[in-house]
Each structure stands twice: as structure tokens, then as C-alpha cells.
Amino acid sequence: MSEQSTKTAATQDALATLRAEIAEAQAACEQLMRGHPQGIAVAGTDGSLDVNEAGAAILGALAGNEGTDAWVAQYGLFLEDQRTPYPPAELPLARALLERVTLSDVPIWMRSPARPEGAWLSVSARPLPDGRALAVFRDVTAERTLATELAARNAALEARDAENRALVERLRVALDELSTPVLEVWEGVLAVPVVGLLDTQRSAQMTERVLDEVAHGQTRFVIVDLTGVECVDTSTADRLVKLASGVRLLGAECVVSGIQPAVAQTLVTIGVELHGLIAVHDLEHALGHCLAS
């Protein structure tokens, strides 16, 4: 046998070995595709579909080969609004086949005579080297339903939380009004009995209410009774002074009654000078002062 014949025979043997390996790999891929738990569809260049068992179960029934333009009608494929038919050229497998692009997790709503209840699909597609394209798809109806239910439940919880916050705010306002009432105890005499902690926010609200009442009435005196207040801070003491100044600017006089020893000590310690404030022992003495003036 000549050297050329020997080389030819060796080449043919190598080709035969390569073909055998390719056939073996194709068989393995075929077996993998058939047994894969997710739907797998391979589209030929003519638009034909080769679908594994899992895919056939999802699609419900396989239609004949009518090309990529017919897939939407054949399998009942819709956009996410569940009403608009999916544009055939925009289908993931069609784009992978015709545009040679790769797409991942594209949602498609499917409803057909074979699946009248409808189903959500998540589709990923990519082109194959031989000109074909492959799509992997799975039924995610249960996941989408659960996500929708969770979103609705979260929305309901957020709405309820907003309602609760609004209710708490209304109750807080009502409580502030009840805890710091502005009472007309005599003609031209307002009394503001304060109970509990008189912090900055509460003292600011009290000042606003008192000045509003003085501005809209014939008030001559405002009695701020602190019998039920056990402590104040620097800002609150400052607001009491400003309250007295505001009342005086509106043509009335401010009288403070019932200052507790701890409160008095705090006012002295922080060096607050109660200019414009008349301090008396209790509410009775405050009312007597107002009536005697």
C-alpha cells in the first residue's frame, strides 16, 4: 500500500471516529433533552419544533409544523396583560432563531383549548451553532399566583398600617386636646390645667391654642395651672415665658398657678427668669387674683 493510500485510510478512520463521537454526543444530548424536567424546544431553521416530554406536558398539545408566525395562535401565547396576543417576531425562541440573540426568563401567558385554565410560562432562549435555536421553559403559574397573593396581602397590610397610623395620630391629637384643655372659668378668664409631662411639643401646641383663644375672644386673663406637672425642660420653660409675652401682646395677662417644688427648683437651676408671669400658689388664688384685678 502506498504512502498516500495509508494517509487516506488514516484520515477516513479519524473521520469515522469523529462521526461516532459526534453521534454519541448527540445521543447523549437527545437523552438529556428527553429526560429534562423543564420544557425544552428546539426550533429548526424552517420553524419546526422538537419538544421534550416535559414541554409537551406544559404546552398541552403539539401542533403541526406551521412556522414561527403560527406559534402564537397554535399555543395561545399572550403578553402579560393576558389579552394581547404575543407578537410572533418577539417570541423568545423566534428571536433566538432569527436574530441570533439570547434571552432569559421572559414571562408569557398561555391560554389555549388544550390549557383553557391558562398558565404562566418563563422562557429562556438562545441560538445554536448549527442555525437552530433552543428554548427552555417552565410553568411558573403557582409562583406567579403566590407572588400576586403576597403582593395583595402586603398592600392590604400597608393600607391597614396607614389607617392605624392615621388613627393613632387622631387619638394623639384628641388626647392632647383633652390633656390640655382651654376652659373659660369666668367671663374673660381662661384656665389651662396641665397634667403630666409638659414637653416641647406639647407646650408648643398649648401655646398655639391659648393664643388662638385669646385672639378670638374678650380674654383678660389666662391661668396656666401646673399642679399636675412634675418636671419641665429648658425649652418648655422658655415657651412658658414666650406664652406670657404672646398673651401680653394680645392685651391679656398670664398667671401661673400650682408650680411644684421640683419644677421650681428646675427653673431656678437653669436660670429661667419668668418675666411677665404672675406666679400664685394654686388655681383658687389665681382665680381670686383675676377677679380682684
- Residue 166 main-chain phi, psi, to 5 deg: -65, -40
| pLDDT of 275 | 62
Largest CA distance in the chain: 143
Q: Are 122 and 135 contacting, i.e. CB atoms less than 8 angstroms apart?
A: no
Predicted local distance difference test score (pLDDT) of residue 28: 45
Amino acid 153: pLDDT: 92
Owner of C-alpha cell 395677662: 253
The ranges assigned to domains in the chain are 36-142, 178-292
**Conformational region of residue 187, where left means phi above 0, alpha means psi within -120 to 50, and beta covers everything else:** beta
Task: State residue 206's pLDDT score.
Answer: 83
Contacts of 142 by beta carbon, 8 Å cutoff, 6+ apart? none
Q: What is the pLDDT of residue 9?
A: 64
Same fold, 36-142 and 178-292: no
Considering only CA atoms, which of 65, 112, 103 is closest in space to residue 85?
112
Evaluate whether 225 touches 191 at the Cβ level (below 8 Å): yes
Half-sphere exposure of 136 (CA within 13 A, CB side): 13
User: At residue 280, what is the residue type?
Assistant: V
- Residue 2 and residue 207: Cα distance in Å, rounded? 117
Distance of alpha carbon 248 from alpha carbon 244, whole angstroms? 6
The whole-number pLDDT of residue 276 equals: 60
Which residues in the chain land under pLDDT 50? 25-28
Identify the pLDDT of residue 67: 78
Q: Write down the pTM of the prediction.
A: 0.51
Q: Residue 172: its pLDDT value, please?
A: 75
Residue-level pLDDT at 126: 93
Q: What pLDDT does 204 receive? A: 80
Residue 102, pLDDT score: 95
Strand pairing category for 253-257 and 103-112: unpaired
- Note the pLDDT tens digit of each residue in 7-28: 666 666 666 665 655 555 444 4
CATH topology of domain 36-142: Beta-Lactamase (3.30.450)
What gap in Å lies between CA 116 and CA 207, rounded to an integer?
68
At residue 27, the pLDDT reads: 47
Which CATH number is associated with domain 178-292?
Answer: 3.30.750.24
